[in-house]
Structure 1
Amino acid sequence: MNHAIDFQSISYDLLTITSRKKTLHNQLFRVESGKVLLKLGKNEYVFNAGDAFWLPIECLMSLTILPNSQLSLVKLSVRLADQFPKKAGKVHLSPLSKALLDKLLHESDLATVNDLLQVVRREIIELQPKLAQTPECLAISKWQPKTDSISGELALVLLVREARKQRLSGTKLGVICDNLFAGNKEQLQLLSQSLLGNTELD
């Protein structure tokens, strides 16, 4: 990143799955719309529209961002000497922080953006991230193919994510189709196309 603090608003039309890796920056996320799954260790945490979460630098994690989601992201460089929170987790934003992020979503003047981000930076120092397993989090963490503990779009997302994981590990499409989709190749291709934008689970 070129600046010590950077703000982005990112829209995801398709299912987006990041690889498991350590974060290079301190990061504050707010879900503007949609749903995000954060995997830390063996557990997954669910964040819906209006939720915010913090990821410190060197945090080993992966994200699953559902289609038609929008995220606001504040990145803070490792060069900053501030005492930012050391733990990952959900955070409760102050009214001021919420107003600042709302303003940043629509502000185009660079000088104003930089001024707003300096206030956000001070607000972040006061955050107290916490991790809690809600019933939905527990259901996702324990989810296995061919179970009906989760339904709707989320169930399809988890199924396609598992298929993609197997594909990336070298399993052939035909085997994945047999194991996860009862041999229904058309269903596999349709779901892959609608969620990932291709039929090859890439």
Structure 2
Amino acid sequence: MSCVMNMSYVMKKIGFLILCGVIAGIIGCFESEKKYDFLLNSEQGKVSLKDFEGKKLIVYFGFSYCPDVCPTTLALISNELKKMKNNEILLLFISLDPQRDKDIKATNEWLRYFYANSTALLTQDENELATLARNYGVIYKKVPLKDSALEYSIAHSNELFLFDSKGRLFQKISDLSQKSLHNALERFLMLDQQTNQ
């Protein structure tokens, strides 16, 4: 009799632990998605990740005064999307240099030279930028440039964040070789077709 009671108690305990695990997983998933959200300045005013729901997104952190890494990456993205005959993906460019990129119209002109369907986003201040970069796992640092009219540059990690049309992170791409990016974008573009089948 006590053995049956103990077994019943153990089963209830296991059921409770499984339920707690499921709830924790759901909360954890929600929290991890929430950390990528933002409220940033754009040419159209303040926007959040939710404002772009229904669109596939590439989020990229960089700055318009970047001499090499950012232009190379933007050109690579543009070339790959042109090859795939796709102009539906929206590129969100989050500036790591809100001080010099504050003329958002000029920053957008520079950005759209690489890829027409893109928009620049600016944080309010350095603290907001540091928090957002930390949430995305982006590393950056202002580097003083002696004897240069630029005064400083920004060293930063170089990765892309692909978000599906529901605002969920699909993939983070750190290997930005042409082949790796091509394969990742191909999978990304097929995403809706796979879920509709």
Q: TM-score, normalised by structure 1?
A: 0.27
Q: TM-score, normalised by structure 2?
A: 0.27
Between structures 1 and 2, the one with greater strand share: 1
Between structures 1 and 2, the one with greater helix share: 2
Higher Rg of the two aligned structures: 2
